[in-house]
Amino acid sequence: MALQDQAEFDAVIAADDKIEPTDWMPDGYRKTLIRQIGQHAHSEIIGMQPEGNWISRAPTLHRKAILIAKVQDEGGHGLYLYSAAETLGVTRDQLVAALHAGSHKYSSIFNYPTLNWADIGTIGWLVDGAAITNQVMLSRSSYGPYSRAMVRICKEESFHQRQGYELLIRLCEGSSEQKAMSQDSIDRWWWPALMMFGPHDSDSTHSAESTAWKIKRVSNDDLRQQFVDATVPQADYLGLHIPDPDLVWNEERGHYDFGPIDWEEFWQVVKGNGPLNRERLDHKRAAWDDGAWVREAAVAHAEKQAAREFESRRTA
């Protein structure tokens, strides 16, 4: 039975049940989801660029096949998410237009460059690793289509993280140059990966509502801590150094303490002043424009087929 009003909506949220597209929902809930799922979808799509950058330069055919499969998965994630957003009464073309116009943002992490081959391992390990921490939480989110998309995505993300970490194991077993390349990579990606979890809970504007609606079920700082605790031993295994002089195990808390995050850098990248904000969006727009003839041809072909079918039925 579809929900009719605020009271029924509140009861479903309180019971930890799911909200479905035909249910009554508060305007703010719908708007928050459109914004969040839209940004999530855009992130998957723009996220294809930093790794796509290395497909033609993968060192072996095996690694190239893995990388193509991973980048293709990210495209798929974007499509599942646009579909989930469309159940809320917007269209994919609308969302894509908002991305192209710059009025919809995507995750800042994808505005950093991939400078060496080890970055492909580090992205899988840290960036997909941070994404998994978040997406596992989102698979329990209160909106049915979003949570179902997350379940599907998480299965594939596990491949992403493992292939990345395994790539780094191989590199770290290799020559001193390969090991140095890996260290350089973690030096550049560690802090941006921690920033992926967003501002501190105390500075997070949307968090309270999202938590009340059970869209978001764990706070930014708790997710970040969870990620750090899981990742430090993995860095140790690789023999890589985490670029944080304040990183230390806190026996009392049962967690790692870590140093302050450079929020100035974070906001600069969010505002559009990161290393590659401009290039990423330009590239996306150019790909869209270059593909216009394909979209038009597909529609023309479909119309012609339909007309032909109509004609043959009429004369039969």
Partner 1 sequence: MTYSVPDVPGESPAKSDLGEASNVWPMWEIFVRQTRGLAHVHVGSLHAADAETALQNARDVYTRRQEGVSLWAVPSVEIVASDPDETDSLFEVNTKPYRDATAYNIPDEVGHM
Other CB atoms within a 10 A radius of the CB of residue 89 amount to 10
Q: Say whether residue 140 binds partner 1 (CB under 8 A).
A: no
128's contact among partner 1, Fe ion, none, with CB below 5 to 8 A by partner kind, is Fe ion
User: Quick check: 128 binds Fe ion (CB under 5 A)?
Assistant: yes
How many amino acids of this chain bind partner 1 (CB under 8 A)? 62
d(CA 90, CA 99): 14
Nearer to Fe ion, 86 or 157 (CB): 157
Phi, psi of 25 (to 5 degrees): -145, 150
| 91 contacts partner 1 (rule: CB under 8 A) | yes
* Binds partner 1 (CB under 8 A): choice among 66, 126, 223, 228: 223
Determine the Cα–Cα distance for residues 229 and 253; give it in Å rounded to an integer: 12
**60 counts as binding partner 1 under rule CB under 8 A:** no
CA of residue 109 relative to chain centroid, distance: 9
How many angstroms separate the first and last alpha carbons of the chain? 46
Q: How far is the CB of 47 from Fe ion (least distance, A)?
A: 7
Can you tell me which of 139, 199, 222, 232 binds partner 1, judged by CB under 8 A?
199
DSSP 33-67: HHHHHHHHHHHHHHTHHHHHTTGGG-SSHHHHHHH
Residue of 116, 134, 141, 182 interacting with partner 1 (CB under 8 A) = 134
Q: DSSP assignment, residue 217?
A: -
C-alpha triplet 6, 9, 15: angle, nearest 5°: 140
SS3 257: strand
Max CA separation in the chain (angstroms): 83
| CB 299, min distance to partner 1, A | 5
Contact between 42 and Fe ion (CB under 5 A)? no
Task: State which of positions 64-83 bind Fe ion (CB under 5 A).
Answer: 74, 77
- Interface region with partner 1, contact rule CB under 8 A, candidates 72-80, 118-126, 161-169, 173-181: 72-80
305 binds partner 1 (CB under 8 A): yes
Number of residues that bind Fe ion (CB under 5 A): 6
**Residue 103 DSSP code:** S
What span, in angstroms and rounded, lies between the C-alpha atoms of 55 and 60?
10
Which positions lie near partner 1, rule CB under 8 A?
1-2, 4, 22-23, 34-36, 39-40, 43-44, 69, 72-73, 76, 79-80, 83, 86, 89-95, 97-98, 101, 103-108, 130-131, 133-135, 149, 152, 196-199, 204-206, 220, 223, 267, 270-271, 295, 298-299, 301-302, 305-306
